[in-house]
């Protein structure tokens, strides 16, 4: 009887450890949406030169703190160097699952026309990358 109880306790502990391990490994960026308003009530990837660009990244299944870095990247814009736009990268923290909103305000002359990409990178508390999503957008 004593060994049966001990085996039950060990089995329960192993199942609990498996559940906890699965929940930690399943944290992810489940969505990245772009739009013209803070809540991205209407999703779009086409913007005008003077538009403020909003990006909402959704973190799912996060059992604890995570960081999400958002940035705007030039892909194909005449006269612009390809790569992240300096000064338009921000890292936000969440205590678990939820949404983070990134706001990209145009320069005084407006966004140069062309193709861009918005990237969201999720990291754990040790700043290790755990997931990434990107959305291509265009400005005309």
Q: pLDDT tens digits, residue range 43-73?
A: 999 999 999 999 999 999 998 899 999 999 9
Residue-by-residue DSSP string for 33-52: EEESSTT-SSB-SEE-TT--
Is the pLDDT at 22 greater than 50? The verdict is no
- The Cα–Cα gap between 73 and 32 comes to 15
Using CA of residue 60, residue 95, residue 119, residue 39, what is the dihedral sign? positive
Supply the pLDDT for residue 125.
83
Q: Which domains does the chain have, with CATH numbers?
A: 27-139 (2.70.50.60)
Measured CA to CA, the distance from residue 43 to residue 84 in angstroms comes to: 22
**Which one, of 73, 35, 69, 76, lies nearest residue 52 by Cα?**
35
What is the pLDDT, as a whole number, of residue 120? Answer: 98
What's the mean pLDDT in 128-133?
Answer: 95
């Amino acid at each position: 009887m004593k060994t049966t109880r001990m085996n039950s306790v060990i089995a329960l502990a192993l199942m609990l450890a498996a559940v906890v391990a699965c929940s930690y490994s399943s944290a992810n960026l489940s969505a990245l949406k772009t739009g013209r308003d803070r809540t991205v009530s209407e999703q779009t990837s086409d913007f005008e030169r003077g538009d403020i660009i909003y990006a909402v990244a959704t973190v799912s299944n996060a059992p604890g703190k995570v960081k999400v870095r958002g940035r705007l990247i030039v892909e194909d814009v005449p006269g612009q160097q390809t790569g992240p736009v300096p000064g338009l990268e921000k890292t936000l923290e969440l205590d678990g699952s939820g949404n983070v909103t990134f706001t990209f305000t145009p320069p005084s002359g407006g966004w140069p026309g062309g193709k861009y990409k918005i990237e969201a990178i999720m990291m754990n508390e040790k700043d290790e990358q755990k997931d990434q999503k990107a959305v291509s957008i265009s400005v005309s």
